[in-house]
């Protein structure tokens, strides 16, 4: 391998009351893909923010040596100038600007302040080609999917002649095939362009696929760096490093006591709210028993979220047709409020956008969906509310000293627990969980799985939508496979495998094209 491109030595960064980074060391060689993994709150993002100048020189201690020079970045601009580009988990594209405008935002192709649009669009097309993004440079960012937006971000970094590309959980909102494309792209960059990448990821299979080295960070310390080919790289080893304990199993065991059908839909069809002729759910029929975890697998855009939300009091879609049975009784849910009263809960995939009131306290968030439980005649009993919120906190092990704490101050895993706690408080019979472990670390995931197991042990029914197939395989009694708005298969949890699920999807998509 080549020379050392980046060396971060004894980096220590303190926030009031917390040492986020404590003497962290990391060395990245030129032309390698270096993965950093660690639990949420371990300090990965903080480290990258130090590197890219978001936390300016002086606010941390330690040295950064990049390309043989000691660097003291005060702004992101300065680090970008040196060829360091960071792509955040939450994309920073402007939805109502075109791809080309976004790509050269802050790096406009201009002479003395006047933009050369011909050059802008031409260059944009070139860079998009490099990343395999086949779109018109005039297309607005809001009109393309998350996977393509991710590629656009990378093209944007290329446009700044990047030497070191930092990706913070780039695949957390991508489906498996988009995620693989992205990783292949990184491998291709490494091979043909000599671009070095730092990849922050929770997904261990991705690391095994493309990383040359893996540095594990826990509680602000570097634990170890594993080198491909030299050290044994296995999930068990990485997990052990991250959580500091052996995890014998990623999924907690569960006893199976399957009861009567709790929820059933028949011939369920939902149309898109804006494009009235587009079916987002097409003639779907599924059922969930009490005490059962039922998975829904499928690619992004297959209609899984739309299915769950349309069941939940018609929270999504128009012209919904089909029959909905709760505990064997035919019902029609006209509103979300009615769905909640009838024992449904929908735990959204987008916890900050659709799930939680971020600037409000934990206790207010927990009680919001069922304020009747803490009020009489429309008047709140705040003492009771506090009491109930504390109960939920204990039950779900939300790590916070007080339920008065604002949700915005919690880590992702704890926010997710509050979100689930909010719906447990609502005492549902059927929980529709949409990506319940997205963007949270392995330890917190395990705890969420335990919560799910407890719920089904109490006789509740759980529908679990997930883009992580191992999770579905590990947790579900049965799995429905959804593709292009239809349910295409129903598999037993024990017989299903990643290959069989992907096989169904591939075959179905092929059939569509052939027809």
Partner 1 sequence: MNKVKRLFKGNLKQYSLLIALVAIIAFFQIVTGGLLLKPMNVSNIVFQNAYVVILAIGMLMCILTGGNIDLSVGSVVALVSAAAGQMIIVWKWDVYFSIGICLILGIMVGIWQGFWIAYVRIPAFIVTLSGQLVFRGATLLLLNGMTLAPFPSNYLMFSTGFIAKAARVNFMGTELNIVCLITGVAIALIFCVVQVISNNSRKRKGYETVTPLALALKLLVISAALIWFFTLLAQYQGIPTVLVILGALLIVYTFFTTKTVAGRHLYALGGNEKAARLSGVKTNRLFFLAYVNMGFLAAVAGMVFAARLNSASPVTGTSFELDAIGACFIGGASAYGGVGTVGGTLIGALIMGMLNNGMSIMGLSSNLQQVVKGLVLLGAVAMDVISKMNLDLLPKRKKAVVLEGAKS
Residues forming contacts to partner 1 in the complex (CB under 8 A) are 90-96, 141-142, 146, 149, 312-313, 315, 335-337, 339-340, 346, 348, 352-360, 364, 368-369, 371-372, 375, 378-380, 382-383, 386-387, 404, 406, 408-409, 422
Q: Please tell me the distance from the alpha carbon of residue 320 to that of residue 298, in angstroms, as a whole number.
A: 21
Q: How far is the CB of 373 from partner 1 (least distance, A)?
A: 11
Whichever of 1 and 92 has its CB closer to partner 1, that residue is 92
Q: Give the pairing type, strands 293-297 and 478-483.
A: parallel
Q: How far is CA 330 from CA 160, 231, 265, 322, in A?
A: 59, 58, 9, 11
> Is the C-alpha dihedral spanning 97, 100, 102, 105 positive or negative?
negative
Whichever of 261 and 320 has its CB closer to partner 1, that residue is 320
Whichever of 440 and 469 has its CB closer to partner 1, that residue is 440
Q: How far is the CB of 56 from partner 1 (least distance, A)?
A: 15
Whichever of 247 and 331 has its CB closer to partner 1, that residue is 331
Whichever of 122 and 409 has its CB closer to partner 1, that residue is 409
Q: Which two tokens stand for residue 364?
A: 């207010």
Each residue of 196-228: b (16+ CB within 10 Å) or e? bbbbbbbbbebbeebbbbbbbbbebbbbebbeb
Q: How far is the CB of 317 from partner 1 (least distance, A)?
A: 14
Strand partners of residue 34: 198, 213
Q: How far is the CB of 492 from partner 1 (least distance, A)?
A: 32
Q: How far is the CB of 95 from partner 1 (least distance, A)?
A: 4
Q: How far is the CB of 386 from partner 1 (least distance, A)?
A: 6
Whichever of 34 and 370 has its CB closer to partner 1, that residue is 370
Whichever of 152 and 296 has its CB closer to partner 1, that residue is 152
Q: How far is the CB of 44 from partner 1 (least distance, A)?
A: 17
Q: Please tell me the distance from the alpha carbon of residue 366 to that of residue 389, in angstroms, as a whole number.
A: 6
Whichever of 330 and 337 has its CB closer to partner 1, that residue is 337
Q: How far is the CB of 97 from partner 1 (least distance, A)?
A: 11
Helix axes 176-188, 146-159, angle to 10 degrees: 20
Q: What is the DSSP secondary-structure string of 409-439?
A: GS-HHHHHHHHHHHHHHT--SEEEEESTTTT
The region, left, alpha or beta by phi > 0 then psi within -120 to 50, assigned to residue 161 is left
Q: Please tell me the distance from the alpha carbon of residue 359 to that of residue 378, in angstroms, as a whole number.
A: 23
Q: Please tell me the distance from the alpha carbon of residue 321 to that of residue 271, in angstroms, as a whole number.
A: 9
- Which residue has 């128009």 as its token pair? 318
Q: How far is the CB of 362 from partner 1 (least distance, A)?
A: 13
Under 8 Å between Cβ of 24 and 221 = yes
Q: Please tell me the distance from the alpha carbon of residue 137 to that of residue 120, in angstroms, as a whole number.
A: 9
Q: Give the pairing type, strands 4-15 and 221-227.
A: unpaired
Q: How far is CA 347 from CA 323, 324, 426, 504, in A?
A: 22, 19, 12, 27
Whichever of 10 and 335 has its CB closer to partner 1, that residue is 335
Q: How far is the CB of 191 from partner 1 (least distance, A)?
A: 31
Q: How far is the CB of 232 from partner 1 (least distance, A)?
A: 39
- Which residue has 């705890």 as its token pair? 447
195: closest CA among 210, 176, 178, 207? 210
Whichever of 371 and 507 has its CB closer to partner 1, that residue is 371
Whichever of 222 and 415 has its CB closer to partner 1, that residue is 415
């Amino acid at each position: 391998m080549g020379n050392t491109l980046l060396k971060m030595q004894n980096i220590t960064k303190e926030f009031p009351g917390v040492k986020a980074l404590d003497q962290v060391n990391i060395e990245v060689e030129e032309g390698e893909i270096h993965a950093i993994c660690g639990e949420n709150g371990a300090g990965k993002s903080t480290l990258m923010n130090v590197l890219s100048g978001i936390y300016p020189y002086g606010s941390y201690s330690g040295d950064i040596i990049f390309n043989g020079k000691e660097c003291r970045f005060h702004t992101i601009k300065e680090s970008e100038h040196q060829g360091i580009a960071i792509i955040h988990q939450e994309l920073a594209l402007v939805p109502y600007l075109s791809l080309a405008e976004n790509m050269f935002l802050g790096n406009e192709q201009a002479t003395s302040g006047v933009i050369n649009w011909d050059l802008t669009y031409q260059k944009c097309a070139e860079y998009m080609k490099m990343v395999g993004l086949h779109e018109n440079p005039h297309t607005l960012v809001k009109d393309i999917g998350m996977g393509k937006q991710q590629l656009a971000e990378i093209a944007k970094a290329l446009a700044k002649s990047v030497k070191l590309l930092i990706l913070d959980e780039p695949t957390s909102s991508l489906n498996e095939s988009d995620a693989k494309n992205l990783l292949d792209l990184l491998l291709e960059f490494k091979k043909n362009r000599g671009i070095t990448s730092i990849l922050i990821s929770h997904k261990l299979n991705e690391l095994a696929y493309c990383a040359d080295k893996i540095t594990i960070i826990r509680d602000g310390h570097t634990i170890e760096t594993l080198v491909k080919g030299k050290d044994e790289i296995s999930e068990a080893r990485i997990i052990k490093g991250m959580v500091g304990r052996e995890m014998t199993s990623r999924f907690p065991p569960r006893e199976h006591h399957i009861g009567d059908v709790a929820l059933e839909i028949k011939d369920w069809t939902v149309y898109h709210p804006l494009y009235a002729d587009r079916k987002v759910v097409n003639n779907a029929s599924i059922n969930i028993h009490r005490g059962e975890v039922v998975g829904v697998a499928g690619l992004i855009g297959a209609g899984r979220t739309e299915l769950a939300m349309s069941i939940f009091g018609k929270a999504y879609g128009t012209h919904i047709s089909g029959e909905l049975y709760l505990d064997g009784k035919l019902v029609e849910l006209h509103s979300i409020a009615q769905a909640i009263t009838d024992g449904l809960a929908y735990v959204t995939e987008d916890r900050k956008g659709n799930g939680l009131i971020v600037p409000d306290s934990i206790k207010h968030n927990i009680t919001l969906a069922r304020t009747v439980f803490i009020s009489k005649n429309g008047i709140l009993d705040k003492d009771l509310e506090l009491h109930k919120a504390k109960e939920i906190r204990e039950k779900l092990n939300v790590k916070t000293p007080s339920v008065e704490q604002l949700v915005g101050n919690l880590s992702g895993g704890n926010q997710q627990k509050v979100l689930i706690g909010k719906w447990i408080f609502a005492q549902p019979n059927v929980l529709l969980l949409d990506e319940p472990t997205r963007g949270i670390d392995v330890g917190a995931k395990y705890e969420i799985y335990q919560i799910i197991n407890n719920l089904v042990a109490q006789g509740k029914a759980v529908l679990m939508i997930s883009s992580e197939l191992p999770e579905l395989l590990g947790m579900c009694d049965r799995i429905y496979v959804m593709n292009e708005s239809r349910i295409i298969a129903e598999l037993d949890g024990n017989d299903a495998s990643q290959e069989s699920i992907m096989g169904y999807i591939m075959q179905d998509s092929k059939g569509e094209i052939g027809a």
